[in-house]
Amino acid sequence: MLHRPQEVGRFMRSYSVIVGGDEGLERGLQGSVDAGSVNTAAIAENSHGLLSFGTSLGTVEFWDPRSKLRVATLQTNDGGITALSYSPSGLSLATGSTTGIVRLYDLRRPSPLMTKDQGFGNHIRKLIHLSTSSEEKMILSADRDIIQVFNETTGDPFLSIQPDVELHDVAWYKDSGMLFSANEGKQQHAWFIPALVTLFTRGTSCDTDSPLT
C-alpha cells in the first residue's frame, strides 16, 4: 500500500500495488507487480518522480504515481533485485541483485551501461549515487562483507572498506564525506572520506580518513 503525504502532514487516499505469485499473476483493481515479492523500492523524488520496485523475478517495475499505472518493466538476468538507486537527475538507475551483481542503466536504453561483480556472491544490500569534491560521479555498493565505491563512468575502483563484522546497511551523509554503517558489531561504524567532502571551502584541513568506532 502506497501513501502520498500532503503538505499539512496528512495522507491522501492511498492506492494499492498488488503482488502476484512467481508462477501466476493476480490482477488488482489498480494493477499488479508481476512477482511473488517486492524486495526493494526507490523513487526519483528530485526529478521525474517514478516509483521503482525490484522484484524476486529479477525485474524492475516502473510506476507513475500520478496515473497509478505501471509504465515500464526492466528485465535482468541476475536473480532477484535487492537494491536500487536513482541518480539526482533521475536518468541513471543502479540495480543490485541476489547474486552480487551491480548494473548501471540509462533509463533511455534497455541494456546496461556497466556491470560490476561485488565479488563475494552475496546479495547487494545498498546502492548510493555519490559525488566527489571534484564532481566525479561514483556508485557505492555494499553487501554483507564489503563496501565498494567505483566510478560511474569508467567503472574504475575508488575505494573499498571491509569491516570485521557483517554489514546490514550503509548511509551517506551527503556532501560531508561521512559514511555510516549498521552492522553486527556493538558499535556503529563511521568513516570519513575527504574526497567526498563538498561542503568545506578550499584550504580547510581535515586530519583523518580512518574509521571511527
Contact partners, residue 7, CB within 8 Å, separation at least 6: none
Residue 36's pLDDT is 67
CATH number of 18-208: 2.130.10.10
Q: What is the pLDDT of residues 123-182, one digit of tens each?
A: 999 999 998 888 899 999 999 999 999 999 999 999 999 999 999 999 999 888 899 999
Whether residue 91 contacts residue 106, with contact meaning beta carbons closer than 8 Å, is answered with yes
Q: Which tens digit of pLDDT belongs to each residue from 40-88?
A: 999 998 888 899 999 888 989 999 888 888 889 998 878 899 999 999 9
| C-alpha to C-alpha distance for 146 and 120, rounded to whole angstroms | 9
Predicted local confidence at residue 174, as pLDDT: 85
Q: Identity (one letter) of the amino acid at 83?
A: A
- Domain layout of the chain by residue ranges: 18-208
Concatenating the DSSP letter of every residue in 87-127 gives -TTSSEEEEEETTSEEEEEETT-SS-SEEEE-SS-PPP-EE
% of the chain beyond a pLDDT of 90: 51
What's the pLDDT at 12? 54
CA 150 – CA 111 distance, rounded (Å): 20
pLDDT surpasses 60 at 17:
no
pTM of the model: 0.79
Residue-by-residue DSSP string for 9-53: S-B---B--EE-BTTB-PPPTT-EESSS-EEEEEE-TTTT--EEE
What is the band of 33 on the pLDDT scale with cuts at 50, 70, 90? low
Shortest CA distance to 57 belongs to which of 115, 13, 98?
A: 98
Place of cell 546479495: 123
